[in-house]
Amino acid sequence: MKAIVYKKYGPPDVLEVTEVESPIHTDNQVLVKVKAASVNYGNMVLLRGEPFLVRFAFGLLKPKYCIPGGDVSGTVEAIGKDVTQFHIGDEVFGDLSVSGWGAYAENVAVPENALALKPANLSFEEAAAVPMAGVTALQGLRDKGKLQPGQKVLINGASGGVGTFAVQIAKSLGAEVTGVCSTRNLDILQSLGADHAIDYTKEKFTENKNTYDLILGVNGHQPLSDYKRSLKPNGIFVHVGGSATQMFQSMTLGAWISKTSSKKMGTFLQRPNQNDLVFMKELLEAGKVKPIIDRQYTLSEVPEAFRYFEQGHAQGKVVIKI
């Protein structure tokens, strides 16, 4: 089969399309014929091996997983004898980030608990845009952020992959949502149902007098002190993306602030969860959430897709058609 393979850490140029042996599924695995995948921040971390600490999990000197790709959608080609949830021909989607990755290929062997049935109203390309970004937004808002109906939520970086899902999920959970984005993305926020939009090229949310019950920092470079001022008493700031400096501050200074004040601040890493994937499926089929796709690339164009993604200006998701 054809697959994207890389044998050393580095820029997108180290990614190559090559012929490899098709995987053989085990007793508890599903063999999926891949129709689409997508690009996430985690893919960039694996590609470059940065920050360096990730190499202790993904290979110190060279990549442990040579075929990247976490998000996947496709059809079930075969099942192991212990598989109970799926049948041959089922259309599925899922997150392989704790299951060996491998979505940038024509076939992949997947543990059944990494998958769910694909939303019936979505194309394979749309479904592949959902798992990592959608579940990150869901867990950040509902679990880490303790979001309740009627609360005021600010999403900084609302027009990217995680941000577009976060706006819609927060609305579906009954929140009043303010999104922060650039001028060219204001129409996207309006289409997603955001109650308010702040154009960061014209206004800094940290300088107005509005405060929020929950702030989701999807993309930003503000110091934690700015976010703290924008929180209500007992408010929560959740860092899910942005600069490395901000992540470090969230882990260190954020922990201190959480212990010494009523405001809680911290970072968050998404964990794949089949129940949450099913929850997202239900939101998607109910029309409460829809994926926003910026660009689509073929398998041979994956290096170009990574270069575009690294620029940080994608409106929604970047998808790979297999």
pLDDT digits (tens, 9 = 90+) for 155-180: 999 999 999 999 999 999 999 999 99
Query: If you write DSSP's letter for every residue of 197-252 in order, what string do you get?
Result: EEETTT--GGGSS--EEEEEESS----HHHHHHTEEEEEEEEE-SS-HHHHHHHHT
Q: Which residues pair with 17 in a beta bridge?
A: 4
Kindly tell me if the per-residue pLDDT of 132 is higher than 90.
yes
* pLDDT, tens only, 115-129: 999 999 999 999 999
Give the lowest-confidence range in 2-11, 133-142, 248-257: 248-257
Q: What is the mean pLDDT of the chain?
A: 93
Task: Note the pLDDT of residue 137.
Answer: 97
Residue 63's nearest CA partner among 5, 119, 104 is 5
The answer, yes or no, to whether residue 52 has pLDDT greater than 90, is no
Q: How far apart are CA 255 and CA 246, in angstroms?
A: 13
- 28 versus 57: the higher-pLDDT residue is 28
Q: Looking at residue 243, what is its pLDDT?
A: 63
Task: Determine how β-strand 231-239 pairs with β-strand 91-95.
Answer: unpaired
Integer Cα distance of 255 and 236 in angstroms: 12
Q: Is 249 left (phi over 0), alpha (psi -120 to 50) or beta?
A: alpha
> β-strand 107-111 against 2-5: which pairing, if any?
unpaired
Q: In whole angstroms, what is the distance from residue 92 CA to residue 88 CA?
A: 11
pTM above threshold 0.75: yes
Within 13 A of 70's CA, how many CA atoms are on the CB side?
Answer: 23
Give the span between the Cα atoms of 229 and 70, in whole angstroms: 36
- 319 close to 296: Cβ distance less than 8 angstroms: yes
Per the DSSP assignment, residues forming a β-bridge with 198 are: 180
Residue burial 148-162, b: 16+ Cβ < 10 Å; e: rest: eeebbbbbbbbbbbb
- Confidence label for 254 from pLDDT (cuts 50, 70 and 90): low
Q: Element (H or E) spanning 253, and its range?
A: helix 253-260
Asked if the model's pLDDT at residue 104 lies above 80, the reply is yes
Pairing, β 196-199 against β 176-181 = parallel
Query: Greater confidence, 250 or 84?
Result: 84
What pLDDT score was predicted for residue 242?
66
pLDDT at 30: 98
Residue identified by tokens 């059944």 is 112
Q: Provide mean pLDDT across the span 171-197.
A: 96
Cβ atoms of 16 and 10 closer than 8 Å: no
Angle between helices 274-285 and 161-172 (to 10 degrees): 70
Average pLDDT over residues 268-295: 96
Q: Which long-range contacts does 189-192 make (Cβ < 8 Å, 24+ apart)?
A: 189/158, 189/159, 192/164, 192/167, 192/168, 192/292
Mean pLDDT of 54-83: 92
Q: What is the DSSP letter of 61?
A: S
Distance (Å, rounded) from C-alpha 233 to C-alpha 44? 36
Least confident of 8-17, 65-74, 205-214, 244-253: 244-253
Q: For residue 257, is pLDDT > 70?
A: yes
**What's the rounded mean pLDDT across residues 27-35?**
98
Place of tokens 């041959």: 88
Q: Give the CA-trace dihedral at 151, 275, 100, 316, to 10 degrees.
A: -40
Please give the pLDDT value at position 244: 65
Q: Decide if 93 contacts 278 (C-beta within 8 A).
A: no
Mean pLDDT in residue range 65-71: 95
